[in-house]
Amino acid sequence: MTPILGAYIADAHLGRYWTFVIASAIYLSGMSLLTLAVSVPGLKPPHCVDANAVDCKKASTLQLAVFYGALYTLAVGTGGTKPNISTIGADQFDDFEPKEKAHKLSFFNWWMFSIFFGTLFANTILVYIQDNVGWTLGYGLPALGLAISILIFLAGTPFYRHRVPAGSPFTRMARVIVAAIRKWRVLIPTDPKELYELDLEEYTKKGKFRIDSTPTLRFLNKACVKTGSTNPWMLCSVTQVEETKQMLRMLPILITTFVPSIMVAQINTLFVKQGTTLHRHIGSFKIPPASLAGFVTISMLVCVVLYDRFFVKIMKRWTKNPRGITLLQRMGIGMVLHVIIMTIASFIERYRLRVAKDHGVVENGNQVPLTIFILLPQFLLMGTADAFLEVAKIEFFYDQAPESMKSLGTSYSTTTLGVGNFLSSFLLSTVSNITKKHGHGWVLNNLNASHLDYYYAFFAVLNFLNVIFFLVMIRFYVYKAEVSNSMEALREELEGSRYRVPVSNQVELAKDVAKSQVDST
């Protein structure tokens, strides 16, 4: 949840660059402290070889404080890095240069490719090191990698385009909402030119964009109706109102991503827990259950390359859209895949339970005589779904956010994962408690005696209902118009939208803004 705070600081005060640099230092200190917590004898509980964990010596208050302090330090560092680094990357492309604009359409595909490439290392080599060598090296390696990455980022500082902070996005949005409510009786003029707006020069001097009035969320237009008062809590510019609309329009889409985020949380929880009950040996090598997540990563990496290199080109010829399909269509495909994934997972789990019953390992919870690779379909398909949904999600919330609120928009995509994890924990405990009281528990510590197949079927239904909700929400969603001198690309991107934002004089405006835009350090 901390990316919301990190995005606020970046957009309102420090800018994306300095917020990222400071947060990276916090992140590195957290990783260093975590490495010390598992390395220094005084900071970790003594090694215990007793088969009964109850007899092991408990961690002291100091040891717990250092360990959890490191984890929460990492959470704070994440808040400043995640919503800003991808935004900084996307900011390096000039929307006023058609070639750079075209490259920007592929940026988030390759951004997520690089992220998941690192995840592949974490889920395979790093997991093996942690399980077989030790936690000191297991945490020390990523801490060292993080330090090197920060140095590489700092080395590129002279070449970056930097965006100047534009003030608190929450305050600007609050002013619009308050002003509209206070003037709820005021009539909105039919001519948008009668609404309050700053001169174009005011925007060009600050390198900002002016946005034309739109009829969507019409009630908020009352905030820019002139009534004689110039109080910023009574009168807002058209651009300020439109920025608020853009952020509010994304909220229903944000809500639709919560359920898929719950599914992502299953990868490193129940999916891995299933793996611990299955045969994991290949010769003398024992597969760590957590490394199964590597198959999600491999699938995602392959699908992103195929999507960017082939799918987009094929679909572009048919749809005439520079992205091949719209961002919301791409998200929708990912959501449909989640329905399929949980349905397949339910059938696989039903088969696993039947084999456990046939071999009499239900009550004792012993290993089921099945290979761990029977879980591969749900892991591989989850990676395919990520290639559609997760990539489109981060690009959508960045792309549709106003220029001065890009970090806040990007934080939507990271916040949804945090909410998904909270909801996953809530559903797990709630369903477990309810099913225990009313018969056979669906989710018990002993998975062989559980009914995880019912739980997955419940998720399949939940995803199906979420897809329907998503289809309803996108029916009313209006893509924002981009201020760009590539009018052909703009026209293509808005194809399929129910509403066309007026683009008269946009070319001249784009040229004026491009000249004054602050792109240098």
DSSP-derived letter for residue 13 is I
**Which band of pLDDT confidence, cut at 50, 70 and 90, is reported for residue 510?**
very low
Which among 82, 90, 174, 166 has a CA at the least distance from the CA of 405?
166
Asked if pLDDT for residue 139 goes beyond 60, the answer is yes
H or E element in which residue 173 lies: helix 169-182
**Which band of pLDDT confidence, cut at 50, 70 and 90, is reported for residue 410?**
confident
Mean pLDDT is highest, among 127-136, 153-162, 355-364, for 153-162
Mean pLDDT of 402-429: 88
Length of the chain: 521
What per-residue confidence (pLDDT) applies to 52? 67
* 290 within 8 A of 122, measured Cβ to Cβ: no
List b or e across 227-236, with b for residues whose CB sees 16 or more CB atoms inside 10 angstroms. eeeeeeebbb
**Which band of pLDDT confidence, cut at 50, 70 and 90, is reported for residue 157?**
very high
In Å, how far are 24, 69, 395 from 82, measured between CA atoms? Answer: 10, 20, 13
Asked if pLDDT for residue 122 goes beyond 60, the answer is yes
What per-residue confidence (pLDDT) applies to 192? 82
What distance in Å separates the CA atoms of residue 10 and residue 88, rounded to the nearest whole number?
11
* 120 within 8 A of 299, measured Cβ to Cβ: no
Strand-strand pairing, 368-371 and 278-279: parallel
What per-residue confidence (pLDDT) applies to 75? 92
Mean pLDDT of 349-370: 88
pLDDT tens track for 223-252: 999 888 888 899 998 888 999 999 999 999
Among 93-102, 126-135, 271-280, 307-316, which stretch is predicted with the lowest mean pLDDT?
93-102
What per-residue confidence (pLDDT) applies to 431? 92
What distance in Å separates the CA atoms of residue 221 and residue 197, rounded to the nearest whole number?
12
The beta-strand segments (E) located in 290-403 are: 368-371
Which among 424, 444, 422 has a CA at the least distance from the CA of 433?
444
Strand-strand pairing, 368-371 and 281-282: unpaired
The amino acid occupying position 254 is: L
More confident residue, 209 or 500: 209
Work out the mean pLDDT of the chain and round it to a whole number: 84
In Å, how far are 21, 108, 349 from 442, measured between CA atoms? Answer: 46, 39, 12
What per-residue confidence (pLDDT) applies to 11? 85
More confident residue, 68 or 505: 68
Mean pLDDT of 393-410: 86
Q: DSSP letters of 104-116?
A: HHHHHHHHHHHHH
What distance in Å separates the CA atoms of residue 175 and residue 231, rounded to the nearest whole number?
10
Which residues 6+ apart lie within 8 Å of 57 measured at CB?
45, 46, 48
The amino acid occupying position 495 is: E
pLDDT tens track for 214-223: 888 889 999 9
* 422 within 8 A of 410, measured Cβ to Cβ: no
Handedness of CA 22, 25, 31, 35 (dihedral sign): negative
Tokens of 262: 């719950």
What per-residue confidence (pLDDT) applies to 262? 94
pLDDT tens track for 437-458: 877 889 888 888 889 999 999 9
What per-residue confidence (pLDDT) applies to 288? 77
Asked if pLDDT for residue 487 goes beyond 50, the answer is no
What per-residue confidence (pLDDT) applies to 50? 66
Tokens of 271: 């999916």
Mean pLDDT is highest, among 34-38, 55-59, 202-206, for 34-38
What distance in Å separates the CA atoms of residue 65 and residue 41, rounded to the nearest whole number?
15
In Å, how far are 20, 73, 150, 412, 454 from 26, measured between CA atoms? Answer: 10, 7, 12, 22, 42
Asked if pLDDT for residue 72 goes beyond 90, the answer is yes
**Which band of pLDDT confidence, cut at 50, 70 and 90, is reported for residue 501?**
very low
H or E element in which residue 262 lies: helix 258-267
Asked if pLDDT for residue 482 goes beyond 70, the answer is no
The beta-strand segments (E) located in 256-378 are: 278-279, 281-282, 285-286, 368-371
Give the 3-state secondary structure of residue 393.
helix
pLDDT tens track for 50-59: 666 677 888 8
- What's the N-to-C CA distance of the chain in angstroms? 30
Strand-strand pairing, 281-282 and 278-279: unpaired
What per-residue confidence (pLDDT) applies to 269? 87
What per-residue confidence (pLDDT) applies to 103? 82
Q: Which residues pair with 285 in a beta bridge?
A: 282
Among 324-328, 402-406, 418-422, which stretch is predicted with the lowest mean pLDDT?
402-406
**Which band of pLDDT confidence, cut at 50, 70 and 90, is reported for residue 490?**
very low
What distance in Å separates the CA atoms of residue 227 and residue 195, rounded to the nearest whole number?
10
The beta-strand segments (E) located in 262-325 are: 278-279, 281-282, 285-286
